[in-house]
Amino acid sequence: MPLLHRTIKLVLATCIAISLADFLQLSYATSAGIIAILSVLDTRRASLKTAWARLWSTLLALALATLAFSFLGFHLLTLGLYLCLYVPLAYKANLTAGIAPCTVLVTHLFLEKSTSLILLGNELALFLIGAGIALIANLYMPSQNKQILLYHEEVEQALKSILLRFQEFLLTGDGRNEAQLISQLDQTLKRALDVVYLDRHNQVFHRTNYQVHYFEMRLAQNKILRTMANNINKFSLESREAVILASLFERTALQLSRQNPGHELLNDIELFHQTFRERPLPQTREEFEARATLFQLLHDIEVFIQLKVDFYEQYAEEHS
């Protein structure tokens, strides 16, 4: 969440929560504002999950405090005993998000030296107002769709550039390749995944794994490209096979779009396998090593394309 949006939400949620609690003439109205601040989180899903956990945490805290104060009196040692009971139970029940705000509510009982139903209702109302206003504030989340589409274009362009560089290396027999573009793409993909994970957590009811799996697929492809770059570094012999494989790299680069299923490329690879098998056997050690490297590159590009085909088939409806 951008800092400006977060600041505006915190200010509005705090002021509205305190104003509403004060309008209802609740005691310790400012506590509603504190709970609102703690409940405005980065995503809708996180806010909803935390608010639900804090509701149960509040009920547990008020119940334990009522029992402790009713039987042992309103003493500091009693407050300490309450914490000794409440904190371990909160951890065991995975309700730790409510420890701080709920303890603030319990101190109101301690200060008022009362566990009356009116006061307990007051504390529960403070929580509901603070958490409720925070949830309402988090209904608005800026859309990440535009940024995600830009990452799609950036990633596909980077992959295209890498494959065309591979084509150039094979055609010239120059394998000098520091894989800088691959490293840059790794960083781009990590940033893209951060954005899509955030966007996914803002989709409470209509959630999809499409964008997450798309960039994870591209990340897996980029790992294959890094392996291929290492193999190309070992290759320095011009050959007919290298020209054929270079043409496959070019065709793959031109068909990287997520709308392209990639089936034709797999068919091309099968034809390339057949062509390579029909070529004359290598005559020298250098030719044999070059042929082995080319076969490995052909296998790697096949795995690269298969990842795209599998993704397309899994999310065929997204393309219709």
Interacting residues of 139 by C-beta distance below 8 A, sequence separation 6+: 44
Same domain, yes or no: 166 and 301: yes
CB 106 within 8 A of CB 61: yes
**Residues 129 and 218 occupy one common structural domain:** no
What one-letter code names the amino acid at 39?
A: S
Largest Cα–Cα distance of the chain, in whole Å? 96
Amino acid in position 283: Q
Same domain, 97 and 242: no
Alpha helix (H) ranges present in the chain? Answer: 3-23, 30-39, 44-72, 76-92, 99-112, 117-137, 145-172, 180-201, 210-233, 240-254, 263-278, 285-314, 316-319
pLDDT in tens, the chain (320 residues): 567 767 888 899 899 999 999 999 999 999 999 998 888 876 777 777 788 888 899 999 999 999 999 999 999 999 999 999 999 999 998 888 888 889 999 999 999 999 999 999 999 999 999 999 988 887 776 667 788 889 989 999 999 999 888 888 877 765 565 678 899 999 999 999 988 887 776 665 455 678 888 899 999 999 999 988 888 776 655 667 777 788 888 888 888 776 666 677 777 777 777 776 766 666 667 666 767 777 888 888 889 988 888 888 887 655 44
Q: Indicate whether 268 and 187 sit together in one domain.
A: yes
Going by C-beta distance under 8 Å and a sequence separation of 6 or more, which residues neighbour residue 145?
A: 199
Domain identity same for 122 and 167: no
105, 21 Cβ separation under 8 angstroms:
no
> Which residue type is seen at 261?
P
User: What is the distance between the alpha carbons of residues 82 and 10, in angstroms, rounded to a whole number?
Assistant: 31
In the listed set 139, 155, 185, which residue is the last one of a domain according to the structure? 139
- The candidate with the shortest Cα–Cα distance to 297, out of 262, 259, 252, is 252
pLDDT at position 320 is: 46
Please give the distance of CA 47 from its chain centroid, rounded to a whole number: 16
pLDDT at position 242: 75
Question: Are the beta carbons of 266 and 299 closer than 8 angstroms?
Answer: no
Q: Which of 313, 300, 218 is nearest to 263 (CA)?
A: 313
Q: Which residue has the tokens 């490995």?
A: 296
What length is written for the chain?
A: 320
- Domain boundary residue among 87, 122, 139? 139
**Residue 17 token pair:** 């929560």
- Residue 261 pLDDT: 66
Task: Express each pLDDT in 158-190 by its tens digit.
Answer: 999 998 888 888 777 655 656 788 999 999 999
Domain boundary among 107, 139, 171: 139
Residues 6 and 2: their CA atoms lie apart, in Å, by 6
Helix (H, G, I), strand (E, B) or coil at 235: coil
**Residues 75 and 155 reside in one and the same domain:** no
User: CB–CB of 98/61 below 8 Å?
Assistant: yes
| Structural domain for 199, as ranges | 144-318
Number of domains in the chain: 2
303 in the same domain as 183: yes
* 180 burial level (CB within 10 Å; 0-12, 13-18, 19+): exposed
Is 302 found in the same domain as 166? yes
Say yes or no: 54 and 133 in one domain: yes
Q: Report yes or no: 141 and 198 within 8 Å, Cβ to Cβ.
A: no
Take residue 54 and report the two structure tokens written for it: 């804090």
DSSP-derived letter for residue 142 is -
Structure tokens at 259: 């709308």
Cβ contact 188:219 at 8 Å: no
Same domain, 243 and 105: no
Is there a single domain that holds both residue 208 and residue 301?
A: yes
Place of tokens 């099968």: 270
Please tell me whether the overall predicted TM-score, pTM, comes out greater than 0.75 for this model: no
Q: Give yes or no: residues 48 and 112 share one domain.
A: yes
Neighbours of 285 (CB within 10 A): 8
Q: What's the one-letter identity of residue 285?
A: R
Q: Where residue 290 sits, what CATH number does that domain have?
A: 1.20.120.940
